[in-house]
Amino acid sequence: MTQSKITVGILALQGAFLEHKLHLQKAVRHASPGSLLDTTKFEIVEVRTPEQLAAADALVIPGGESTAISLIAERSGLLEPLRQFARVDRKPVWGTCAGLILLSDEASKARKGGQELIGGLHVRCQRNHFGRQTESFECDLALPFVGDDEPPFRAVFIRAPIVEKVLTGADLTADVANDVVRAPKLDAEADDYKTAPIEVISSLPSTQGKEAGDIVAVRQGNIFGTSFHPELTPDVRLHRWWLQECVLGRGESRI
Ligand X SMILES: NC(=O)CC[C@H](N)C(=O)O
Calculate the CA dihedral of residues 247, 31, 22, 14 and round it to 10 degrees.
10
Residue 97 found at the interface with ligand X (CB under 6 A): yes
Stretch that binds ligand X, among 94-102, 173-181, 186-194, 247-255 (CB under 6 A): 94-102
201 lies in the binding site for ligand X (CB under 6 A): no
Interaction of residue 208 with ligand X, rule CB under 6 A? no
Q: Coil, strand or helix: which one is 208?
A: helix
99-118 positions binding ligand X, by CB under 6 A:
101
Which amino acid is it at 198? I
Of 40 and 104, the one with the shorter C-beta distance to ligand X is 104
Window 180-199: contact mask with ligand X (x via CB under 6 A)? --------------------
Does residue 63 bind ligand X (CB under 6 A)?
yes
Binding residue for ligand X (CB under 6 A) from 158, 163, 183, 238? 158
Please state the φ and ψ torsions of residue 236, each to the nearest 5 degrees: -105, 15
Whether 229 is catalytic is yes
Q: Is residue 239 a contact partner of residue 230, using CB atoms and an 8 Å limit?
A: yes
For residue 29, CA distances in Å to 36, 87, 136, 248 come to 12, 30, 31, 16
Find the binder of ligand X among 87, 127, 210, 219 (CB under 6 A): 127
159: contact with ligand X by CB under 6 A: yes
Catalytic residue among 229, 239, 245, 246: 229
Q: How far apart are CA 59 and CA 81, in angstroms?
A: 12
Nearest to 106 by CA among 91, 93, 92, 121: 121
Judged by CB, which is closer to ligand X: 65, or 80?
Answer: 65
Torsion of CA 203, 151, 29, 232, to 10 degrees: 50
Query: In the annotation, is 189 catalytic?
Result: no
Cβ-proximal residues to 13 (8 Å cutoff; 6+ apart), any chain = 48, 68, 69, 72, 73, 76, 78
97 is catalytic: yes
Compare residues 66 and 84 and give the one whose CB is closer to ligand X: 66
- 128 binds ligand X per the rule CB under 6 A: yes
Cβ neighbour number for residue 59 with a 10 Å cutoff: 22
Nearest distance, CB of residue 107 and ligand X, angstroms? 8
Residues that bind ligand X (CB under 6 A): 63-66, 97-98, 101, 127-128, 158-159
Question: Which residues belong to the active site?
Answer: 97, 229, 231
